[in-house]
Chain A
Amino acid sequence: MEGQAPSPLPDQVLENVLETVLHFLSSRRDRNAASLVCKSWYRAEALTRSELFIGNCYAVSPRRATARFPRVRSLTIKGKPRFADFDLMPLNWGAHFTPWAQALAQSYPSLRRLHLKRMSLTDRDLTLLSLSFPHFQDLLLTCCEAFTTTGLAAIAANCRLLRVLDLAECVVEVADEEVDWISSFPETQEETHLESLVFDCVECPVNFQALERLVARSPSLRKLRLNRYVSMSQLHRLMHRAPQLTHLGTGSFSASELDPEPDYASAFAASKSLVCLSGFREIWPDYLPAIYPACANLTSLNFSYADINAHQLKSVIRHCHKLQTFWVLDSISDEGLQAVAETCKDLRELRVFPVNTREEIEGPVSEVGFEAISRGCRKLQSILFFCQRMTNAAVVAMSNNCPDLVVFRLCIIGQYRPDPETLEPMDEGFGAIVMNCKKLTRLAVSGLLTDRAFGYIGTYGKLIRTLSVAFAGDTDLGLKYVLEGCPNLQKLEIRDSPFGDGALRSGLHHFYNMRFLWMSSCKLTRQACQEVARRLPHLVLEVINSEEGKADDIEILYMYRSLDRPRDDAPKVVTILH
């Protein structure tokens, strides 16, 4: 046998085959299942997982994640729970990216893609990122904060292969000296690799000349979303530089000094690949006709920062036959919604945001427009609808007309509002939704709701993964129905509802299957939470009270499973029960 390499052991052959096969497995749920088969499958799966998704940054430590999955190229991490967006969490609560940044820099030299949502990351973190990964391509930050344009400049300057820089709804602080981050993209690079540049949330002016030069030398650029410091005439210049764009965020869409003004419509006509339009941050409705040439091809239109009226909307929407995604303000009123219903037969996703969030006003949209949408847009899959009034009949109608609904989020702005026609609670409407929309996975309820509504949800909402509840329910039974009836429930956020300790206990069998439970201004006591913490050692219960440690009543409970010890970076107002 000397001088001859030993032939591989049968086990090893199997492992090689397994690894090769597993490379093709991309769904993380499938991979999770595969990893449970046996130890060798576990190992093979861990070695071949290149896309890692971490739904809660505190569910697992960076060290554990990088130790199990050594060859990750794409990483997604989510931090704060959604209610943090509405100022319900203390400042500096956590979700700091720094420990992750350090771990990643050490363990993943081949990292190509990073997507963070609701994380807090500093300029230092961004700089470290920009210097640690020579192959880095895609950076997506959604609802993140704590960094400034200095961090962006580091990314621009150092990531030579940068393909995607997407900042969505981030809070970008203004640095002490406003950093001209756009100029940090190296001008020596003849052509960049940029495919997507999204910075509409960056609230400071950009150097337009540098931006124009950047766009001019980015032949692969398909997505460009400008902030509101870019005027109409500047937009015009950029569009001429990049007629190949597919996704365009128009910036302010408002006039500038020039007289006479350029022919904006021709720019939109020349951009034949445009399928998605957004922006319109300071819209001057006179300019709306400029986008007509692009409307026929649009599949996505975001007017949610443009307070246009029904008349103005109609002039645009009547051309948009291919529209699938539409975000808009309620300023278009029921009449505008009817126009959408008449034209957009292919609509899949609709979001209607309120211009005015006060509770005592008569809103411009109501059950009338809502029902019109349900009749006209039968393929609807996702709806988010803010209104001041809604009837059960309209909600029932939608449940019948739009059976493909996967996401149903109705927000009646006035708390505890019954059906204005019948004066009944909104139980029957939401009941119909869970009954008839058999694919529903995400539900947000509002209006006057009794335990009955939750009974319906528990009985029929078998696929629901995310449930959002506010100012609803009568007794513990409501929450019990849900915790006992919804086996797929993963994210439950509840505020200002009369659910207490008994209800909490009824979920003990299920809490390990959930990503998190949020309950604020409910009726929980510290004792009950302590009990849950004792009985389920892998649960972390964060109790946030405004007066540290004193009260017995819990103001906020944020509870999640975790493989590691509870975090040590919590602010003083957070007490961790374990």
Chain B
Amino acid sequence: MATILGKESGLNLKETELCLGLPGGGGVGGGGGGGGGGGSSEVETPRATGKRGFSETVDLKLNLQSKEDLNENLKNVSKEKTLLKDPAKPPAKAQVVGWPPVRSYRKNMMAQKVSTEDVAEKTTSSTASGAFVKVSMDGAPYLRKVDLTMYKSYKDLSDALAKMFSSFTMGNYGAQGMIDFMNESKLMDLLNSSEYVPTYEDKDGDWMLVGDVPWEMFVESCKRLRIMKGSEAIGLAPRAMEKCKSRS
């Protein structure tokens, strides 16, 4: 959730500036991306608990105020979603508040889907050209399917999974998106936390921590993905490290 919240201030202020110059007076229509109109997929802030904590303190301000208020209002506007996804890439053109006239609820749902386009879920699942694997996350009521050939690295996969399962973060991984197996203490930290970690079932039927082998090898051997709490994955670590050491 830290990764998602971090996007609030920078991205959305830009939105505001761009919006001011629109024709027709630029009042409400141009006022602010914070209104959650066309740009809602970019500016909606996910809320962990869905509480309207700020609405009482903000005291009824319109979504056009100073940048400060805008930030506060951004949090209020997204009150309907408890599972908002990471914002999609910023649009080339500024979005107008409330245009096109699509309800926020629907826009949010579509924003999730647009951002998972990378995941090729829309295509018919022909296994001929892709490497489709089921992805499940502990606690989520449904599975997903991803085509591993759509990604070039663990980072790509991690981003896509983050979008699909919002409470999943891979933030604790190193820059390459791979667990540093040589750093035992760091690894242990992760596995002791309640953070989610991705695991996979390989060709041998063993469950491994994702990231233990080079990416290409992973794509070939991964049969199924499962995202579980770090504390549950702890049993996998020693074996993962063994395999890793034996391969390098």
A residues lining the B interface (CB < 8 Å): 83, 85-88, 90-92, 143, 145, 169, 171, 173-174, 176, 201, 203-205, 228-232, 234, 252, 254-257, 281-282, 284-286, 304-305, 307-309, 311-312, 329, 331, 353-360, 386, 411, 413, 415, 468, 470-471, 495-498, 520-523, 544-546, 553, 555-556, 571-573
Contact = CB atoms under 8 A, between A and B. Distances in A.
Interface of B: 22-31, 35-38, 40-41, 49-52, 55, 58-65, 73, 76-77, 79-83, 91-93, 95-107, 109-110, 113-114, 121-125, 134, 136, 141-145
A555 B64 CA distance: 11
Nearest to A256: B142
Contacts of B23: 471, 496
Contacts of A173: 50-52, 79
- Secondary structure dominating the interface of A: loop
A518 B8 CA distance: 31
A281 B58 CA distance: 33
A85 B24 contact: no
Contact of A555 (B28, B80, B100): B28
A210 B51 CA distance: 25
B18 to A, nearest CB: 13
Given A87-B63, A171-B79, A546-B65, A255 B99 contact: no
A553 B100 contact: no
A229 B25 contact: no
Given A285-B124, A353-B102, A470-B101, 8 more contacts: A231-B141, A329-B110, A357-B38, A357-B95, A498-B24, A521-B24, A521-B25, A555-B28
A544 B99 contact: no
B50 A174 contact: yes
B25 A523 contact: yes
B24 A174 contact: no
A516 B49 CA distance: 37
Contacts of A92: 55, 60
Contacts of B142: 231-232, 252, 254-256, 282, 284
Contacts of A307: 110, 113, 122
B27 A357 contact: no
A176 B49 CA distance: 8
A203 B80 contact: yes
Given A171-B80, A281-B109, A252 B141 contact: yes
Contact of B64 (A285, A496, A546): A546
B110 A355 contact: yes
B60 A90 contact: yes
Contact of B49 (A174, A360, A520): A174
| Cβ-closest 8 pairs across A and B | A86-B98, A496-B24, A254-B142, A546-B64, A571-B60, A174-B50, A555-B27, A171-B80
B93 A256 contact: no
B100 A413 contact: yes
Contacts of B114: 355-356
B93 A357 contact: no
A521 B61 contact: no
A203 B82 contact: yes
Nearest to A83: B98
A205 B51 CA distance: 16
A357 B55 contact: no
A548 to B, nearest CB: 9
A573 B27 contact: no
Q: Of B24, B124, B136, which is in contact with the most chain A CB atoms at under 10 Å from its CB?
A: B24
Given A284-B145, A307-B122, A312-B124, A91 B27 contact: no
B147 to A, nearest CB: 13
Given A173-B50, A573-B61, A87 B37 contact: yes
Contacts of B100: 354, 357, 386, 411, 413
